[in-house]
Amino acid sequence: MTVNVGVVGCGRVSRTAHYDAINRHADLALRAVCDIDRSRADEWALKNNTRAFYALEDMLAEEPIDVVSICVPNRLHPRIGIAAANAGKHVLCEKPLGLRLDEVDALIEACDRNNVKLFNILQNRYNRTNQLLKQAIAQGRFGQIFQIIITLRWRRDIGYYLEDDRWRSRRDLSGGVFTNQAVHYVDMMQWLAGAPAETAYAKMATCVHPVDVETHGAAVLRFRNGIIGSFNLTNLNYPEDREGSVMVLGSHGTVRIGGKSMNVVEEWSFADSRPEDAEIAQANTAPPTVYGFGHVEVYDQIARALVHGDRTVDLPDGREGRKSVELLQALYESDRLGREMRLPLD
């Protein structure tokens, strides 16, 4: 059996991370690409030796697609996903699942109703560095964890916001550094904390570029288990991407995973020592982009689940992806209203 994939959206993330991950896998076949920009769809169909479509409904009707991979502007994710689910297709959605919690809930409901799977790409969970960190937390090596600190110092020049019809500059389609860059770090925060958040407070601002979305900001979360999480985020770092880090502080351990995208162990200190500590140096990677190598693992897990029926697959589903959307919505509401928000949101 081969899983047939149709990619919707031929922009930056699909051409940087998706096409190669699909084409290199023996159990997957890229059957079609779809984009409302006809020239772009034609270009990437030719490069991938596949078929171009210019409307989703045509691709769904004419090609035997098993999985629709969604790589369109963030606000459109639920709409495309619901159409795919109603056509009986499994859904693989780039981060985030959407910008509004009610629209994300509608997507989850549509996938449930049509008995199809909904996968969310949160590929940094598969960094070997982060896997080792999560394992150390599960083993109780930190003792009492009291703080998680995330720092993102990347640079996005005006060209980034203007390409692909300027959608990354629009608040109604994108969200700024919190959503479009730091959603992986928001997910990482709640994944590592291991408990729901109970409060959220944020301050965001825009400068340098004439865009509608936030370019930088800071936030604080408090989780039900007492952990305090903090974010310091910017898309204005000079002169380039320099840091995407997470630090976990506990009574018996401190770990900092840094590099440009949580790809290098910069500190690994525990009161005890274990054999797996010898793996730390080998966990470091040097990915060519901040996307890392996780998309290859995502598609491998999809193949294992759909082709081989592997029930041990650990791929974030819709309900897991919803968690970061709720946290982001709370942070935006906090900034808009100028007050701390309580979770879960009404």
Rounded-to-integer distance, Cα 328 and Cα 341, Å: 11
135 and 86 fall within a common domain: no
Q: Which of 97-106, 155-164, 310-319 has the lowest mean pLDDT?
A: 310-319
| Residue 184 clears pLDDT 80, i.e. is over it | yes
114 and 220 fall within a common domain: no
Is position 275 within any domain? no
137 and 92 fall within a common domain: no
245 and 159 fall within a common domain: yes
Q: By C-alpha distance, which of 28, 31, 34 is closest to 57?
A: 34
How many helices and strands in the chain, by DSSP H and E?
A: 12, 14
Is position 284 within any domain? no
> Mean pLDDT across the stretch 151-175?
95
Contacts of 62 (CB under 8 A, 6+ apart): 53
199 and 255 fall within a common domain: yes
Is position 281 within any domain? no
| Residue 241 clears pLDDT 80, i.e. is over it | yes
268-327: per-residue pLDDT in tens? Answer: 999 999 988 988 989 999 887 778 888 999 999 999 999 988 888 889 999 999 999 999
Phi and psi at residue 106, to the nearest 5°: -65, -35
* pLDDT for res 289: 77
224 and 130 fall within a common domain: yes
109 and 128 fall within a common domain: no
Q: Which of 138-152, 160-174, 187-201, 277-291 has the lowest mean pLDDT?
A: 277-291
144 and 83 fall within a common domain: no
Please give the share of the chain, as a percent, with pLDDT higher than 90.
92
Q: What is the CATH number of the domain that holds 105?
A: 3.40.50.720
111 and 147 fall within a common domain: no
Rounded-to-integer distance, Cα 323 and Cα 306, Å: 24
What is the domain extent for residue 67?
3-123+295-317
Is position 282 within any domain? no
Overall domain count for the chain: 2
209 and 311 fall within a common domain: no
Q: By C-alpha distance, which of 2, 68, 1 is closest to 32?
A: 68
Is position 283 within any domain? no
Instruction: Dig out the tokens for 147 from the structure.
Output: 């703080």
337 and 211 fall within a common domain: yes
> Mean pLDDT across the stretch 51-79?
98
| Residue 219 clears pLDDT 90, i.e. is over it | yes
138 and 234 fall within a common domain: yes
Is position 68 within any domain? yes
